Amino acid sequence: MDNPKPGLSARETPAENMTEALISLENLTGNARLIRERIAGKARIMGIVKANAYGHNVHRIAEALEASGIEDFGVANIHEAIELKTGGALKNPARILAFASPLPSHIEFFLKFGIEMTVCDAVTLQAAKEIAASQNKTLRVQVKVDTGMGRLGISPSTAMEMLREIDQSPYIELSGIYTHFAESSSENGFTEKQLTAFKALTAEYEHESGRTVCKHAANSGAILSHPDSWLDMVRPGILLYGYHPAKKTPCRLDVKPVMQFEAKVIFIKTVSAGTTVSYNRTWSAPGPRHIATIAAGYADGYYRALSNKASVSINGKAYQQIGTVTMDQIMVDLGTQHNVTIGDKAVLFGWNGPSAEEIADIAGTISYETLCAVSSRVKRIFV
């Protein structure tokens, strides 16, 4: 949605947007600085920019992170990696790691685009060896170890065998070993268990091979709660975007939201007591009321689960959202007196309204999902 239709110049399409996600690159770099201060130079930082940088726009986020000194980027898969690599935002030959175990047909593209590939199983490793050898090229891989997340990764008990095989493969180069935590914000001992298993494996590998390798494990929760897990590199995602991974973490950083989701007031009406609003008539006016219609709905990423539960901020004042959230619009109760006019901005979440975490709480989810849900129909504006 970023560009006008081919054949139409920007001047031939409306300049004013109905919905916008303001992206504060200043808040982003401030958050990156706070993370850097927290780890006090003890480890490299990999900027996690998967899922279009948690909905913020991967190119602009990666560009700003690179300018702030970050050289490593983590994405979900080869498609996102190619998008980042070829998008032109990165000035330097950054290291890009794709976290997903690849499909066999993807392997040649890691070679073609110089992306680091995650390896978690023998079949994929064998295919990678054959493809790299057939092209006479070296493929850089990182071995992902499942120490307890239960999603992707080779088990610690068989990882040594795979690491030996990689070291014996002339066309495969090991550039890292990593694991992922299942509940890193918690202090119940599970993260320590995962970390102990990971450290034992990597120590055995480094001892036996006589070489050192980049070892990494810490996501945002572990950056805050488990300093012993920082190792050679940390992998913050949600903290970069201005939110904490959990309500309670032993350490809090003064991070600021990077996204503000806004939509315009497009209609205002006056209704009498008993008038119902929206699908299934879940709200009726308790008395005469002014009602505003705002140009964002669940197709923009404003969850239907928020119906009758959330508030928005208009001109610095909170107004209750009323009636069922529809695909393209929501309604809010302006009360009996107001100074709202058509074209005013409603903040659905962000630094001048409810936070993405508050919205997530109401909808029964987490800030990660609330940020990622903001759809491509919403124009990103970089401020």
Ligand X SMILES: Cc1ncc(COP(=O)(O)O)c(C=O)c1O
Binding site for ligand X (CB under 6 A): 48, 74, 99, 180, 219-221, 235-239, 245
Q: Per-residue DSSP letters for 126-155? A: HHHHHHHHHHT-PEEEEEEB-SS--SS-B-
How far apart are CB 245 and ligand X at their closest, in Å?
A: 5
Nearest to 368 by CA among 258, 225, 223: 258
> Does the active-site annotation cover 144?
no
Q: Which is nearer to ligand X, 152 or 271 (CB)?
A: 152
- Which residue number places its CB atom closest to ligand X? 237
How far apart are CB 299 and ligand X at their closest, in Å?
A: 25
For residue 22 the two structure tokens come to: 């303001």
- Burial class of residue 57, CB neighbours in 10 A (0-12, 13-18, 19+): buried
Q: Which is nearer to ligand X, 38 or 377 (CB)?
A: 38
d(CA 310, CA 296): 14
Q: CA gyration radius for the chain?
A: 24
How far apart are CB 19 and ligand X at their closest, in Å?
A: 25
How far apart are CB 119 and ligand X at their closest, in Å?
A: 14
Q: Which is nearer to ligand X, 302 or 368 (CB)?
A: 368
* Catalytic annotation, pick one of 50, 85, 129, 264: 50
> Would you say 318 and 312 are in contact if contact means Cβ atoms under 8 Å apart?
yes
How far apart are CB 239 and ligand X at their closest, in Å?
A: 6
Which is it for strands 259-271 and 289-294: parallel, antiparallel or unpaired?
antiparallel
List CB contacts of 316: < 8 A, sequence separation 6 or more.
352
Q: Which is nearer to ligand X, 102 or 237 (CB)?
A: 237
d(CA 167, CA 174): 7
Q: Which is nearer to ligand X, 235 or 380 (CB)?
A: 235
Q: Which is nearer to ligand X, 99 or 198 (CB)?
A: 99
Q: Which is nearer to ligand X, 277 or 356 (CB)?
A: 356
How far apart are CB 268 and ligand X at their closest, in Å?
A: 39
Which is it for strands 289-294 and 283-284: parallel, antiparallel or unpaired?
unpaired
Maximum Cα interatomic distance, the chain, rounded to a whole number of Å: 80
How far apart are CB 180 and ligand X at their closest, in Å?
A: 4
For residue 205 the two structure tokens come to: 């590998």
In the numeric block, the tokens 């990971």 are attached to 198
d(CA 322, CA 310): 8
Residue 32 DSSP one-character state: H
Any alpha helices (H) in the chain, and if so which ranges?
25-39, 50-55, 58-67, 78-86, 107-113, 122-135, 156-167, 190-209, 220-225, 356-363, 367-373
How far apart are CB 238 and ligand X at their closest, in Å?
A: 4
* Catalytic annotation, pick one of 112, 193, 248, 279: 279
Angle CA(242)–CA(25)–CA(100) in degrees, nearest 5? 65
Q: Which is nearer to ligand X, 221 or 242 (CB)?
A: 221
d(CA 315, CA 352): 9
> Does the active-site annotation cover 50?
yes
Positions marked active-site = 50, 279
